Amino acid sequence: MNLRLGRTWLPALLLSVVLAGCASAPRLPVDAGGETVWSGRLALKVATARPQSFAAGFELRGSPQAGELLLTSPLGQTLAQVTWSPEGAELRQGDQITRRGSLDQLTTELTGTAVPVQALFDWLRGASTETAGWQADLAAFGDGRIQAQRRNPLPEAELRIIVRP
């Protein structure tokens, strides 16, 4: 895949981490090693001059400080993988690798704005954390559904996530 495709995949990847709700929060998904892992489906729409849409399966593990996001096709094929740590961030798409000094730098380059990673992890846990430019709707969090919208800065974007129990 080329880097241009990565510009549509990364927002979905990193934003897939987004959203969560009210009422009683569901139990956090934990793998055999005790690490929190979210998986499900996500869809991202970006209102650029040529509107872009993206949908994929996802698996997210880690924390805002260090983690991994895997995007997959409906047939389970890996489309892209993003990893980050205090040392930097990396996007892998097939044989192509893009590295930057931080996750903010990588997401800003690929999406035009830094993705609010701390807020995304909070939303997935059901905490309604506010962040500049983004509004999360956690009303359907109990059903595993999260929605977030960015109105500012442009371009506007909408992220929808369905988390598997």
DSSP 28-85: PPB-TTS-BEEEEEEEEEE-SSS-EEEEEEEEEEE-SSSEEEEEE-TT--EEEEEEEE
Instruction: Please tell me which residue, 26 or 151, carries the higher pLDDT value.
Output: 151
Residue 33: pLDDT band by 50, 70, 90 thresholds? low
What angle (nearest 5°) sits at the alpha carbon of residue 64, between those of residues 30 and 83?
85
pLDDT greater than 70 at residue 86 = yes
Q: Return the CATH number at 106.
A: 2.50.20.10
Q: Are 118 and 62 in contact (CB under 8 A)?
A: no
Tokens describing residue 28: 């956090």
Sign of CA dihedral 61, 36, 77, 72: negative
Please write the tens of the pLDDT for every residue from 106-148: 877 776 566 778 888 999 999 988 888 889 999 999 999 999 9
In terms of average pLDDT, the best of 11-15, 16-20, 116-120, 133-137 is 133-137
Beta bridge partners of 6: none
pLDDT greater than 70 at residue 61 = yes
What angle (nearest 5°) sits at the alpha carbon of residue 95, between those of residues 68 and 111?
55
pLDDT greater than 90 at residue 38 = yes
Beta bridge partners of 36: 30
- Name the domain count of the chain: 1
Q: Which domain holds residue 69?
A: 3-163
Task: Quote the percentage of the chain above a pLDDT of 70.
Answer: 78
Beta bridge partners of 38: 60
pLDDT greater than 50 at residue 25 = no
Instruction: Please tell me which residue, 59 or 31, carries the higher pLDDT value.
Output: 59
